[in-house]
Structure 1
Amino acid sequence: MVRFGIIGTNTITEKFIQAGKQHGQFELQAVYSRSKERAESFASQHGARETFTDIEAMAANPNVDAVYIASPNAFHMEQAVTIMRKGKHVLCEKPMASNRREIAMMMEVAETEEVTLMEAVKSTVMPGFLSVQNHLHKIGKVRRYVGNFCKYSSRYDAYKQGEVLNAFKPELSNGSLMDLGIYGIYPMIVLFGAPNNIKANAVFLDSGVDGQGSIVADYDDMEGVIMHSKLIDSHAPSEIQGEKGTILIPNISEPRDITILYRDGTEEKLDYMDEYLPMYYETAEFMRIVEKKETQTNNHSLEHTLLTAEVMEAARRQIGLMYPSDQW
């Protein structure tokens, strides 16, 4: 069993717990919240045995093996370091931290303490994405990757009424690029590596964060196009365009229902087993590498996390989005 503590009592944490309970070795041990009442209510609702209002106390608890962090982005680094220095493994929600410098610090602590550190990006360990990798050769030379994730934020209505919630606060290292753009960037890095350079654009909100934006990534013989927004919905699929055909991915954040359209007019539906909730796969992969005493996985490595952070930081420099923890 891997006994989890969790930081964050929100919707994404509830999805994580639901997915984790599909795994026979997952056990919810502890809940942290700044509010004792909130911690106890959440623990009771989801069957956790212990509650904490002090992160160091939870990290020191011998009944906790690993901690899932789903707090605001600006808190990830400090919380993860506190936990890892107590010898506990960390599964940290994306983006792993505010910038490349913080991620490098987290990686150093993980190596020193010999614990597993993993960014909770679910897409690249889902069966659909693995199937894309296995069939990528069928479309010939790839000339363009399009990662499109535009989703109207449920918090944008409040913003338009004058209430700035966490999703739109620069002091919490938030915004469209960090929240949604990463879903397009991370698979691009896994499939094609780091680009030679990028060009970024953004639409800013008065709160000081990007509401939407785009990135064009330059590779030697192809390009990557990233589109992200919290202000609008897009129903266009993401695509990998090759000289012999195109792979259509309806939802880049949860790759499923994937089709190859060939130049001769034929189609191929990619066949693969996908029987669990989307967050199950990242949780299972994390638990696997913890059990095997490994540090990372081929499709979901700290190198991928670092390269993705470099692309996002380069984009933020170009659009002029700086967070309090940045040291530019």
Structure 2
Amino acid sequence: MKLGILGSGMIVKDFLSMVVDLPQIELKGIFGTERSLKVMEELKETYKIEQVYTDIDNCLSNDAIDTIYVALPNHLHYSFTKKALEANKHVICEKPFTLSYDQLVELEMLASSKNLVLIEAITNQYLTNYKKIKEELKTLGKIKLVECNYSQYSSRYDAFKEGTILPAFNPKMGGGALMDINIYNIHFVVGLFGEPEAVHYFANVERDIDTSGTLILEYPDTKVVCIGAKDSTSEIQSTIQGTDGSIIVKGATNVVDAYKKILNKKETELVNHNSHPHRMYEEFKVFDEVIKNRDTEFAKKQLNHSKTVMSIVEKALQHAGISLG
């Protein structure tokens, strides 16, 4: 993969700290605003990135780049992904893919028309621990209840309360607890159980944005609660309860560091099969293979998953009376 990175924020710095362990990924360029130029120059020097760009068209015209990693603020995902696809680049886009289901479908059609790989960077779907959980669901009997709680007080909430609206709490920029933090829980659940029959979102709404909320997903025999909060903190944990046992994931659903398996009348087992300590390693290892092989069928399968998630997000926001963008 010959990669061009769009963005220079925390997620990019986190990615770059890991990508040294994937030497098959060549860092061809990084794009950002003039305001971010100093940061990008420092990243270029530290991680041996070949070029720094402040003009997106110059970046996309670089024939040495075959793939673009979109790691910009949420509201820019759609427009920059579209530009990259139009420039005949494969695209890996950070979550949330877009701000609407229709935008995602449009991008999917564009990628398909050009035989390009379009895929969402959502870590839990590629973690070995997560894949093992999916395999072990059958040992839990009939799944009855699932609870995912990802609640983490945001320092930006202090500014928000004082009237400073930063992107994380700006409805026009795709902010809010559902899009920023609870969406990991949605991906976690959808990857295990598919599309639910009903969606309800009970949100704490301040200045037209959800600062926290409880999402209810209804399946025929299973009830799911996904809690996401940026205005309060709790123990971050997910539990899958079945008639024959349960699985407990300590920590966030985008990391899945390890999990406990508790079967009825048996000793608790602590399980960790992840192949690398960094949550982004396994997904980008897969992405490199998918792009090298131009595996658009795999990308299409993952896009179907992403579309299910986006459909749930739209229904949830509609139920809570929240409008984004």
TM-score normalised by the shorter chain: which range applies?
over 0.9
Contact 2:151 2:227 in 1 (8 A): yes
CA distance in 2 between counterparts of 1:299 and 1:148 reads: 29
CA distance in 2 between counterparts of 1:236 and 1:32 reads: 34
CA distance in 1 between counterparts of 2:264 and 2:160 reads: 45
Compared CA separation, residues 273 and 199, structure 1 to 2 (3 A)? closer
1:16-72 alpha-carbon deviations (Å, 9 max, x no partner): 112222112012111111214444343234321111112122112111111111111
Partner of 1:9: 8
- Give 1:125-204 correspondences, 5 Å limit: 125-204=126-205
Compared CA separation, residues 53 and 296, structure 1 to 2 (3 A)? farther
CA distance in 2 between counterparts of 1:296 and 1:29 reads: 26
CA distance in 2 between counterparts of 1:41 and 1:205 reads: 38
CA distance in 2 between counterparts of 1:320 and 1:299 reads: 31
Whether 2:238 is the aligned partner of 1:238: answer yes
> Helix, strand or coil for the counterpart of 2:33?
coil
Cα offset, 1:231, TM superposition: 1.0
CA distance in 1 between counterparts of 2:127 and 2:47 reads: 25
Contact 2:5 2:69 in 1 (8 A): yes
Contact 1:56 1:83 in 2 (8 A): no
> Helix, strand or coil for the counterpart of 2:125?
helix
Whether 2:226 is the aligned partner of 1:226: answer yes
Cα offset, 1:224, TM superposition: 1.4
- Normalising by structure 1, we get a TM-score of 0.93
Cα offset, 1:280, TM superposition: 0.9
What root-mean-square deviation, in Å, do the aligned CA atoms of Structure 1 and Structure 2 show?
1.7
1:239-294 alpha-carbon deviations (Å, 9 max, x no partner): 11110001001121211220111222521222424324111111111111101211
CA distance in 2 between counterparts of 1:136 and 1:264 reads: 17
- Normalising by structure 2, we get a TM-score of 0.94
Cα offset, 1:134, TM superposition: 2.0
1:275-327 alpha-carbon deviations (Å, 9 max, x no partner): 24111111111111101211254897000100000001000001111123xxx
- Give 1:1-328 correspondences, 5 Å limit: 2-35=1-34, 36-206=37-207, 208-251=208-251, 252-264=253-265, 266-295=267-296, 297=298, 301-324=302-325
> Helix, strand or coil for the counterpart of 1:204?
strand
Compared CA separation, residues 34 and 16, structure 1 to 2 (3 A)? same
Compared CA separation, residues 111 and 228, structure 1 to 2 (3 A)? same
CA distance in 2 between counterparts of 1:40 and 1:27 reads: 17
> Helix, strand or coil for the counterpart of 1:278?
coil
After the TM superposition, which parts of structure 1 deviate over 4 Å for at least 4 consecutive aligned residues? none
How many residue pairs get matched? 322
CA distance in 2 between counterparts of 1:162 and 1:172 reads: 16
Q: What residue identity is the alignment partner of 1:246?
A: S
Q: Report the more deviating stretch, 10-19 or 152-161.
A: 152-161
Q: Give the percent of matched residue pairs that are identical in Structure 1 and Structure 2.
A: 26
Contact 1:30 1:58 in 2 (8 A): yes
Contact 1:21 1:27 in 2 (8 A): no
1:196-215 alpha-carbon deviations (Å, 9 max, x no partner): 11111100122x21100011
Q: What residue identity is the alignment partner of 1:3?
A: K
Contact 2:275 2:282 in 1 (8 A): no
